[in-house]
Amino acid sequence: MLTRRSSAFFAALFCLVAASAVAAPVRLVSGPDYVPFADPNLPSGGLAGALVLAAFASADIAVEPVQYEPWKRGYADVLAGQFDATFPYVRSKQREAEMLFSDPIYDIVTVALFPADSGRDYSGPDSLKGLTLCLPIGYAPAPPLVPLIEAGAIRIQQPGNPDLCLKELASGRVDVFVNNGELIDLRAPALFGPAPPFVRGHIPVDRQALYLVAPRAAPGAADLVDRFNKGLAAIRADGRYEAIVRRQLGAS
């Protein structure tokens, strides 16, 4: 039988263990080759990484050093409980069924890129019918293209990263690459010099946002996302957000 003193001891011990669990640093994973938003070789891991870390710091949430894995693996490891959250991700039906989404971290404009001598342009999803789209592994297609992809009207080729998509586009192995304008502006000249052999569609394919996501089924995930959102709102309000964007885009 427990005495009053031993009962008090175990109650205090339980409280200490519970407090320790609550205070455990957040485990984050991101992925590589998503310039300027995420890559371990970029300052602070990229623009998204810098914003995410600043938001957590503003909310007084301790964070372990961000780990980097291939996108598909990192996402699966979050669902498996090896990490608490991952970033930056756009919305998709599958992800919305599995993940809780934060408030938007950053808004992006998605554009279509074609070989310069192809004579092609983007005027809407139907203008890509019959073409082969390069979509890196772990990336979600732009929502306006999903119905045509599911119907087989747009074929998909999936190399490991966006740089390979640009190289396959230049070699003619794919017909179109759809991704955010910032990545294309940075990586195409880096790979092909000041006059890359591509032409950009005259209208955007989509406007999307990047998010931090956490597993719906994980205990504490909703609270984590809520606290992150409060930190993100705080850095937007006091000017730190814009300062980070300017610094990171300049560094990239």
Domain range enclosing 184:
107-207
| Domain assignment of residue 22, yes or no | no
Sign of CA dihedral 60, 64, 39, 141: negative
Q: What is the pLDDT of residue 21?
A: 41
Could you tell me if 153 and 169 lie in one domain?
yes
Which of 105, 101, 38 has its CA nearest to residue 66?
Answer: 38
Task: Choose among 85, 62, 36: nearest CA to 212.
Answer: 85
pTM of the model: 0.78
DSSP state of 119: -
Indicate whether 137 belongs to any domain: yes
CATH number of the domain within which 81 lies: 3.40.190.10
Indicate if 113 and 203 belong to the same structural domain.
Answer: yes
- The span from the CA of 139 to the CA of 130, in Å, is 21
Number of Cβ within 10 Å of residue 141's Cβ equals 20
Give pLDDT, residue 8.
45
Residues 101 and 149 in one domain: no
pLDDT of residue 252: 54
The reported pLDDT for the residue numbered 250 is 76
Residue 128 and residue 78 in one domain? no
Q: Which amino acid is at 137?
A: I
Same domain, 74 and 186: no
Please report the pLDDT score of residue 249 as a whole number: 86
What is the rounded CA–CA span in Å between residue 101 and residue 90? 9
Statement to judge: residues 49 and 138 lie in one domain: no
List pLDDT tens digits, range 30-48. Answer: 999 998 999 999 999 999 9
Q: How many domains does the chain have?
A: 2
Mark the ranges of the chain whose per-residue pLDDT is less than 70.
1-23, 251-252
DSSP track, 204-238: -SEEEEEEEEEETTSTTHHHHHHHHHHHHHHHHHT
Task: Determine the pLDDT at residue 14.
Answer: 43
